[in-house]
């Protein structure tokens, strides 16, 4: 069984919670006691219907305000796949939560109200999916029951979205007309929309091909830690522990350690269950080398056929997450894979309007939830790839030196 991670974003009335509730309920992932608790809470609040959003909004402040604030992770499984939903709020003031949810997702579910068509929020969610290189988008055109299940209404929204989608960089976009409230085309095919010949939402989620989402061509192994057992049996053992971030490694492969440039060959690839003949992303393994060379946390082991960038100047699209914007000339801890260096924001080229993807030049200071195209300068060289080639080696965060807060997330452009 494969694992598919997807993200949703939405606000109070677009039916996102209802859709998630429906997916969980129809796939039998909601237990009777959870349902009973939600039923009782709904009754206490004097609601006419069972409020499925109470399943997803867990924090006291969220329940009080009736909104999703943070990213909530939800799980369900069918006999075909296991799913992890990163459920995020949709309002612009929670852009950073949407970015967080999108960072690990294979797929984004974008919800459109069939009566309203493409709105600002639709664009924002799609742009975020595009910037974070979520490989697949499923556009759910919801509330079809309120437009009499009309094929024309559906086609109009599809055309509208396709016109907009020319601006985004996601190649796999699919459309499903649904009614989350009644369940049409969510799990089961709709009897109300015989004109729709495609698959239901769940069927698409179960079968969409995600096998080629990982990069299996550029070999990248960021070293997390060095394993040195102090036991007679493994006296000279020195294993480099890490999770493969790209490509395929085999014993005998010639490798280079970056940024030092030292070279060697792979002696073995070890796991607790025994040595393996091949290792690929996202496997966690330990690599031993033929030669006794200096390798430690923060180094990257690569193969000769494809070299990453090694530089102290990095072009980045930043999403600012800190409550206060960057202070002029401030230094930040920069984390990229297992490497940590100090960095300063050397230049801000422009800010990006996340609703329209317009470049805003001379738009003033960067504030929370804003995107900005910047150049960073680091104290030590970084070893990285373009984010579009590798989401692990091409991503970074900035940590405030004074507060230790994670204040920005960046995708590397070159």
Partner 1 sequence: MHKYYLTHLQELESEAIYVIREVVAQFDRPAILFSGGKDSIVVTHLAQKAFWPAKIPMPLIHIDTGHNFPETMEFRDKLVEKLGVQLIVGSVQEAINKGRAVEESGINASRNELQIVSLLDTIEHHKIDAAIGGARRDEEKARSKERFFSHRDEFGQWDPKNQRPELWNIFNGRKRMGEHFRVFPISNWTEMDIWNYILQENIDIPSLYFAHNRNAVYRDGTWLPASEFLSLREGESVENKLMRFRTLGDITITGGIESDADTLEKIVAEVSATRSTERGNRSDDKRSDTSMEDRKKQGYF
Question: Site residues for partner 1, window 244-263 (CB under 8 A)?
Answer: 248
Are the beta carbons of 125 and 131 closer than 8 angstroms?
no
Nearer to partner 1, 256 or 338 (CB): 338
Of 10-18, 116-124, 279-287, 308-316, the window that binds partner 1 (rule: CB under 8 A) is: 279-287
Selected from 13, 43, 58, 148, the binder of partner 1 by CB under 8 A is: 58
Distance (Å, whole) CA 242 – CA 332: 25
Rule CB under 8 A: is residue 227 a binding residue for partner 1?
Answer: yes
Residues 313-352 that bind partner 1 (CB under 8 A): 321, 333, 335-338
CB of 216 to partner 1, least distance (A): 5
Residues 138-177 that bind partner 1 (CB under 8 A): none
Residue 245 CA from chain centroid, whole number? 15
Distance (Å, whole) CA 126 – CA 209: 20
Angle at the Cα of 76 from the Cα atoms of 85 and 123, rounded to 5 degrees: 25
Selected from 92, 283, 357, 363, the binder of partner 1 by CB under 8 A is: 283
Rule CB under 8 A: is residue 59 a binding residue for partner 1?
Answer: yes
Rule CB under 8 A: is residue 84 a binding residue for partner 1?
Answer: yes
CB of 352 to partner 1, least distance (A): 18
CB of 4 to partner 1, least distance (A): 9
Rule CB under 8 A: is residue 52 a binding residue for partner 1?
Answer: no
Q: Where are the beta strands (DSSP E) in 290-386?
A: 300-303, 309-320, 331-336, 339-352, 359-360, 371-384
Nearer to partner 1, 102 or 109 (CB): 102
Selected from 13, 43, 47, 82, the binder of partner 1 by CB under 8 A is: 82
Rule CB under 8 A: is residue 233 a binding residue for partner 1?
Answer: yes
Of 13-21, 118-126, 141-149, 270-278, the window that binds partner 1 (rule: CB under 8 A) is: 270-278
Nearer to partner 1, 34 or 356 (CB): 34
Q: Any idea how long the chain is? A: 414
Q: Where are the beta strands (DSSP E) in 215-253?
A: 220-227, 239-243, 248-249
Question: DSSP alpha helices (H): ranges in 147-221?
Answer: 151-165, 201-207
Residue 34's alpha-carbon distances to 48, 57, 58, 84, in angstroms, are 18, 13, 12, 19
Q: Where are the beta strands (DSSP E) in 103-209?
A: 107-113, 136-142, 172-177
Selected from 91, 96, 125, 220, the binder of partner 1 by CB under 8 A is: 96
Selected from 93, 207, 284, 379, the binder of partner 1 by CB under 8 A is: 284
Selected from 48, 49, 171, 231, the binder of partner 1 by CB under 8 A is: 231
Rule CB under 8 A: is residue 276 a binding residue for partner 1?
Answer: no
Residues 372-411 that bind partner 1 (CB under 8 A): 391-392, 395-397, 399, 404-406, 409
Distance (Å, whole) CA 320 – CA 204: 34
List the one residue out of 204, 159, 154 whose CA is nearest residue 179. 154
User: Could you write out the DSSP letters of every residue in 26-55?
Assistant: HTT-S-HHHHHHHHHHHHHTT-SS--THHH
Of 91-99, 110-118, 256-264, 376-384, the window that binds partner 1 (rule: CB under 8 A) is: 91-99
Nearer to partner 1, 76 or 175 (CB): 76
Of 111-119, 170-178, 265-273, 378-386, the window that binds partner 1 (rule: CB under 8 A) is: 265-273
Rule CB under 8 A: is residue 191 a binding residue for partner 1?
Answer: no
Are the beta carbons of 87 and 71 closer than 8 angstroms?
yes
**H-helix or E-strand containing 126?**
helix 120-131
**H-helix or E-strand containing 193?**
none
Residues 301-320 that bind partner 1 (CB under 8 A): none
Selected from 9, 99, 107, 343, the binder of partner 1 by CB under 8 A is: 99
């Amino acid at each position: 069984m494969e694992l598919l991670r997807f993200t949703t974003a939405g606000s109070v009335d677009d039916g996102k919670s209802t859709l998630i509730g429906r997916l969980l309920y129809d796939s039998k992932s909601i237990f009777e006691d959870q349902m009973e608790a939600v039923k009782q809470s709904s009754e206490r609040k004097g609601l006419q219907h069972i409020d499925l959003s109470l399943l997803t909004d867990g924090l006291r402040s969220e329940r009080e305000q009736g909104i999703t604030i943070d990213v909530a992770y939800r799980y369900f499984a069918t006999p075909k796949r296991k799913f992890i939903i990163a459920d995020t709020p949709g309002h612009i003031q929670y852009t950073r939560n949407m970015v967080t949810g999108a960072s690990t997702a294979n797929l984004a579910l974008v919800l459109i109200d069939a009566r309203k068509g493409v709105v600002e929020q639709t664009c924002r969610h799609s742009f975020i999916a595009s910037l974070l290189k979520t490989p697949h988008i499923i556009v759910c055109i919801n509330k079809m029951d309120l437009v009499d299940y009309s094929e024309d209404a559906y086609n109009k929204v599809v055309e509208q979205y396709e016109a907009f989608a020319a601006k985004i960089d996601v190649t796999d976009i699919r459309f499903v007309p649904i009614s989350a409230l009644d369940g049409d085309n969510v799990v089961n095919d709709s009897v109300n929309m015989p004109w729709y010949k495609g698959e239901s939402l769940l069927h698409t989620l179960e079968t969409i091909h995600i096998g080629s989402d990982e990069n299996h061509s550029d070999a990248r192994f960021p070293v997390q830690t060095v394993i040195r057992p102090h036991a007679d049996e493994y006296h000279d053992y020195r294993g480099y522990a890490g999770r493969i971030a790209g490509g395929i490694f085999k014993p005998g492969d010639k490798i280079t350690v970056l940024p030092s440039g030292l070279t060697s060959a792979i002696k073995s690839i070890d796991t607790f269950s025994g040595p393996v003949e091949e290792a690929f992303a996202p496997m966690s393994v330990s690599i031993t080398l033929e030669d006794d060379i200096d390798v430690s946390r923060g180094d990257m082991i690569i193969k000769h056929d494809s070299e990453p960038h090694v530089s102290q100047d990095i072009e980045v699209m930043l999403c600012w997450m800190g409550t206060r914007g960057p202070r002029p000339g401030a230094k930040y801890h920069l984390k990229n894979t297992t490497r940590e260096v100090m960095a300063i924001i050397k230049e801000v080229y422009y800010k990006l309007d996340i609703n329209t993807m317009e470049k805003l030049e001379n738009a003033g200071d960067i504030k929370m939830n804003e995107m900005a195209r910047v150049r960073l300068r680091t104290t030590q060289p970084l070893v990285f790839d373009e984010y579009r080639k590798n989401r692990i080696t091409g991503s970074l965060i900035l940590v405030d030196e004074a507060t230790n807060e994670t204040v920005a997330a960046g995708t590397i452009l070159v």
